[in-house]
Amino acid sequence: MTAVQKKLSALAIAAAFAGSAFAQTNVTIYGVADAGFVNSSGDRANGAKNANFNGINSGIMSGSRLGFKGEEGLGNGLKAVFLLEYSLGIDVNGGVGSATGSSANSRQSYVGLSHNRFGTVALGRQYAPGYNAASRNNPFGGSTAQAPLNLLTAAAGNSLSANEASRINNAVTYASPVWNGFSANAIYGFAENGGTTADGISQGNGGVFGAGLNYANGPINLDLVFQQRSGVATNPVTTSPVTTVSTQDNINEWALLGSYDFKVVKVFGSYQSQDDNNGTSAREGSNKTWQVGANIPVFGNGSIQASYAKLSWDRTGAGDNTAWALGYRHALSKRTTLYTTYTLVDNDNNALAAAGYLSQTRAIGEKNATLTAGLNHTF
């Protein structure tokens, strides 16, 4: 056997072993590239009038991201699964894990075991049940720039939201299989705070628990969700005029969300409540939020989105935040979508927290409006 033949034989053996080692592994690379023009106007928090913003932003219709997910068959219906998903800031020098170009941001990262009969258990940074429930029962989906509901729940400091507060670190989750349209999921996030003797905080203070029940059958979708932040160290709402207060009481949230597809129009609705007993009635962040919306197919590949949401504060003397949005999305293909949306937020003079897309153009007691137009591509 010549030297060349020996090398070819060695390469063939190595390739055979590699093929055997990875025969049961399936890895998928996926992502979203989303960017668009933003025009936002309102009054600044410092009292300056007629604040305006014009620019290109990333992640308007949905967050730009790069993800890796995979599974390995272990036999008898059991699989090992993993997911690593990172934000991207494609309008700036924001590479993998950096939505703004300055800080790392893992959207999700977990590893787990899945069985087709018994469900999935996973460990890592994961979505609480409220995240997906809020996204699938909203005409604007999980958009944190366009959807009135997502803007208001973020301003309220709610964890039951399609926002950052619903991504839980140090979490263990369970997701059931689907039984006749019903499925359930649950999460517990360990706070992993050691605390000190002085403040009496024990390890695990600030943990998060959540449970959700979903029913999806044909045109109807219903979600019932409960989430609790236990022994929180700070009040979730720190926007003036609220003073951060902590009595280390639990914050409880629940929501009923739903949608129904009539084909000519898909309608959405939700109602949720946050019960925050930290501090006094003049400082705690209890609130109730509701929304109604619709998605109307037009022109074959297009759709009109409309939504109205209201956030009412239980705090003594507090007012309301209201928001509405009207948008249009046009599918150029199954993966590429053009979009535009106009969103208006109205904050009462004594509303607890200002709501709006950009911090530069929003303030308590003022209105702010945002026009977005961009392109979303999934892969």
DSSP result, 47-73: S-SSEEEEEEEE-SSS--EEEEEEEEE
Give domain status of residue 371, yes or no.
Answer: yes
| Residue 159 zone, left/alpha/beta (φ > 0; ψ -120 to 50; rest) | alpha
CATH classification at residue 158:
2.40.160.10
Q: Of the candidates 232, 311, 324, which has an alpha carbon nearest to the alpha carbon of residue 273?
A: 311
List residues bridging with 195 in a β-sheet: none
- Helix 148-156 and helix 129-136, axial crossing angle in degrees, nearest 10: 150
Q: Of the candidates 274, 325, 335, 324, which has an alpha carbon nearest to the alpha carbon of residue 301?
A: 335
Tens-place pLDDT, residues 163-186: 888 899 999 999 999 999 999 999
Report the mean per-residue pLDDT for the chain: 85
Give domain status of residue 169, yes or no.
Answer: yes
Residue 94 tokens, joined: 């924001």
Tens-place pLDDT, residues 208-262: 999 999 999 999 999 999 999 886 644 455 555 454 455 567 889 999 999 999 9
Q: Worst-scoring range by mean pLDDT, 167-181, 187-201, 339-353, 364-378? A: 187-201
**Owning domain of residue 259:** 42-378
Give domain status of residue 8, yes or no.
Answer: no
Q: Residue 87 phi/psi, 5° resolution?
A: -70, 155
Asked if 71 and 35 touch (Cβ cutoff 8 Å), the reply is: no
Question: How far apart, in whole angstroms, are the C-alpha atoms of residue 167 and residue 171?
Answer: 9
Q: Is the pLDDT of residue 296 over 50?
A: yes
At residue 14, the pLDDT reads 43
Give domain status of residue 12, yes or no.
Answer: no
Residue 357 tokens, joined: 């897309």
Give domain status of residue 25, yes or no.
Answer: no
Tens-place pLDDT, residues 83-127: 999 999 999 986 675 555 444 578 999 999 999 999 999 999 999
Q: Of the candidates 28, 72, 54, 103, which has an alpha carbon nearest to the alpha carbon of residue 360?
A: 54
Tens-place pLDDT, residues 39-68: 999 876 555 667 889 999 999 999 999 999
At residue 11, the pLDDT reads 44
Q: Of the candidates 139, 126, 228, 240, which has an alpha carbon nearest to the alpha carbon of residue 175?
A: 126
Give domain status of residue 19, yes or no.
Answer: no
At residue 355, the pLDDT reads 85
Asked if 135 and 128 touch (Cβ cutoff 8 Å), the reply is: no
As for how many domains the chain has, the answer is 1
Residue 303 tokens, joined: 């759709």
Question: How far apart, in whole angstroms, are the C-alpha atoms of residue 312 and residue 287?
Answer: 6
Give domain status of residue 11, yes or no.
Answer: no
Asked if 171 and 159 touch (Cβ cutoff 8 Å), the reply is: no
When computed from its CA atoms, the radius of gyration of the chain, rounded to whole angstroms, is 23
Give domain status of residue 349, yes or no.
Answer: yes
The percentage of the chain sitting over the pLDDT mark of 90, rounded to a whole number, equals: 62
| Strand, helix or coil for residue 129 | helix
Question: How far apart, in whole angstroms, are the C-alpha atoms of residue 150 and residue 15?
Answer: 50
For strand 266-276 and strand 251-261, is the pairing parallel, antiparallel, or unpaired?
A: antiparallel
Question: How far apart, in whole angstroms, are the C-alpha atoms of residue 171 and residue 208?
Answer: 9
Q: Residue 18 phi/psi, 5° resolution?
A: -60, -45
Asked if 58 and 34 touch (Cβ cutoff 8 Å), the reply is: yes
Please identify which residue in the block is written with the tokens 């034989």.
9
